[in-house]
A and B are shown apart, each in its own frame.
Chain A
Amino acid sequence: MQQNKMKLEFDSRSCNEGFARVAVAAFMTQLNPTLEEVADVKTAVSEAVTNAIIHGYEGSAGTITIRCRIEGETLTVEVEDTGKGIADVKLAMEPLFTTKAECDRAGMGFSFMEAFMDSLEVHSAPGRGHLCG
């Protein structure tokens, strides 16, 4: 069974969103994905990284960590920050819920992640950052 993993750390800057998408897309190439599968994963990664930047660090400087794991035919992507944390994860994951309506946020980040990946887990607590994978 094929196994591989990678870990990426980068500054929580908006201009790194594209870099994060491409990095994960490149890593998953070894699974021979369809174009659609790559696009789906890129979208989910983009949502998770954007969440870390806007909500985790609220625009201030921080580090985002992405870990990818391949086991057989399964790709697991973890996006982690050590920012503000989510007080109520269940509420945060409700479609259209956002704490930043004034920043043009649609409140669809988690919904998109769930739509484009086979499964999603979110672990967080106030002051403890958040991990989604």
Chain B
Amino acid sequence: MEHHFTLSGTALTVHLPAELDHCSSQQLRQEIDRLIRVRNIRSILFDFGNTEFMDSSGIGMLLTSYKSMRFMGGTILVIHAGERMRRILTLSGLDKFIDIYQGLPRESDLI
């Protein structure tokens, strides 16, 4: 699981796997919770660059991360989400809560 995370200051980047389902979401969730407990994390960036599949378990994980971060005054972002992933994020309504960027926020536009 370690290779899915990079921490830079207070920003945690989660490099999501190719398939974000209940199985992988559960594992990611546990690790994100652990990192939030032991490190000072103010933002979580979900990188969908390698992700081709996501079901509502992935949405649940994003929602929980959003609530955790919001409770602590932090933010979450989505980057590199392909067309299908963006469709699913829109279908779930999550796009109303979470900013979705083409690439890194300072280099690209909000989608």
**Footprint of B on A, CB under 8 Å?**
14-15, 17-18, 21, 36, 39, 42-43, 46-47, 50, 53-54, 104-106, 108-109, 111-112, 115
Given contacts A14-B23, A14-B26, A50-B55, contact A108 B64 (CB under 8 A): no
B47 to chain A, nearest CB (A): 20
Partner pick for A50 among B57, B64, B88, CB 8 A cutoff: B57
**Footprint of A on B, CB under 8 Å?**
19, 21-23, 25-26, 29, 53, 55-57, 59-61, 63-64, 84, 88, 91-92
- Number of A-B residue pairs, CB cutoff 8 Å, is 59
Minimum CB distance partner of A103 in chain B: B60
Whether the Cβ atoms of A109 and B56 lie closer than 8 Å is yes
Whether the Cβ atoms of B21 and A50 lie closer than 8 Å is yes
| Neighbouring B residues of A108 by C-beta, 8 Å | 56, 59-60, 92
